[in-house]
Structure 1
């Protein structure tokens, strides 16, 4: 019996997480990619493990991996987006904040996705209709919640909208300080946490349409019922870009107002 896309995305993410776990704490070779950005042996080997799983089940599909780029020449409407280790710097300095992200984009939409935490053995996943977390083979439906008021922000470049929006400036806004508590974990595992109710929201700048880092987390948030837009409130991947993923309308509106404050000050 052939494996479903839903089961395949979970299997692939778990395969990557197993590799990431196995290399944790070891002497890692670093491969410099650009200023301030590098991959490690764990990134490379985890991506190989993920792609091996995908290729065995879907040899005709295309794959975009963070480390290996585009491979495969199959149907243009099926593309797997693979981020084998999101949080490489955390991981390299033995900080257990990382995720393994895999998503399938079909006809422009993420149809299944998974974000695995290698150190809690949790896999956050979606079949496109709902979102779940799998622990010890059991699935639990994800329920967003803004109760914590914790907002994770991405402070890593690039910042294409720096002239009108900066996450660092938002953190200094009195309105933010009065309502929210900031967190910076430097891995897109935090986007999955919004879907799971462990964060009230996540905010980042950037152009994320083909991002292997964010595809799984965005799909999880959308399936869980979060409010997901760009930083200008427009549909995701349009307008100014970026991401505001919030547990509810009130949190989302408050964050958009804080972002708008920066534009008003510039004008």
Structure 2
């Protein structure tokens, strides 16, 4: 656990995520400027302002660290060992239509491992955080409780947003159509990686997505939370996650994980 200037990296991640969450919460419901990105995606004034607040906290405390922000891009040495990954508002489309299902993600990659991370829910006031070894949730009153994953709900959150590097062999929408999925699970789609933190917290049985998640500002925090909480976390074929364009299956337990991998495997190559 790194302690620099009297503050651990994990505590700094929490503080930075809370700073971003305060901006997101404060601007909710406002008429916000939009900034087009690509393929119909956009950022809002809240995304930009929240990222600025997060970076102000990180740079004041760790000026030598590199940063990758979803809106501002990469800064610092390209080969820096310590790099902060910042997603200031995960669920922008939700937020833009006043749907309060969003997360604020801050993670520190130190070498090849995420050693500190936090996902803040701006509207519940909760912050899910890890020091890389343990995972906890901080309530609005500042008290912490351990995260305890469980598959009891049978709720599986699935990311239906592109890109889909494994298509046509794997498409998340086909997973939902598999009769075996309906026999065991119930689908949910909140369109925010807040749901990955919910797997660690026992509020979801699992989370499934396609995509290349290496140094992902969206997923690094949630994956670190799930790992520290004791979830089973791999790519879509069971390979180590974050080693390529592997996607993600994060499950509360090994039985749920095995069932989902089998359902993924059942999908045949080619369009349906």
Checking the alignment, whether the CA contact within 8 Å between 2:168 and 2:269 is kept in structure 1 is: no
- Count of aligned positions: 266
In structure 1, stretches of 5+ residues that fail to align are none
Match of 2:124 in 1: 120
Answer yes or no: is the 8 Å Cα contact 1:231–1:240 preserved in 2. Answer: no
Do 2:119 and 2:222's aligned partners in 1 also have CA atoms closer than 8 Å?
Answer: yes
- Contact 1:84–1:101 (CA under 8 A) maintained in structure 2: yes
Q: Is 1:241 matched up with 2:243?
A: no
1:19 aligns with 2:23: yes
- Identify the residue that residue 162 of structure 1 maps to in structure 2: 167
Deviation at 1:4, TM superposition (A): 1.5
Q: Is 1:89 paired with 2:87? A: no
Q: Which moved more, 1:123-132 or 1:73-82?
A: 73-82
TM superposition score normalised by structure 1: 0.97
Q: Matched residues in 2 for 1:36 and 1:239: separation? A: 25
User: How far apart in 2 are the matches of 1:49 and 1:138?
Assistant: 23
Of the three residues 109, 129, 151, the one matched with 1:105 is: 109
The CA deviation string for residues 117-169 of structure 1, in whole angstroms up to 9 with x for no partner, is 00000000000001000011100000000000000000000000012111100
* Residues 60 and 73 in structure 1, CA contact (< 8 A), matched pair in contact too: no
Q: Give the SS at the match of 1:162.
A: coil
2:108 and 2:42 map into 1 onto residues whose CA distance is 25
* TM-score where L is the length of structure 2: 0.95
RMSD: 1.4
How far apart, in 2, do the equivalents of 1:13 and 1:237 lie? 23
Residue 224 (structure 1) aligns with: 229
Q: Is the 8 A contact 1:114 1:125 kept in 2?
A: yes
Q: Structure 1 residues 33, 264: CA separation in 2 closer, same or farther (over 3 Å shift)?
A: closer
1:204 correspondence with 2:201: no
| Structure 1 residue 72 displacement after superposition | 2.4
Distance 1:156 1:62, change over 3 A: same
Q: Pick one of 16, 29, 33 that aligns with 2:33.
A: 29
Q: How far has the Cα of 1:108 moved from its partner?
A: 1.4
- Residue 147 (structure 1) aligns with: 152
Residues 70-85 of structure 1 aligned to structure 2 (within 5 Å): 70-73=74-77, 76-85=80-89
Q: What is the alpha-carbon distance in structure 2 between the residues aligned to residue 99 and residue 240 of structure 1?
A: 23
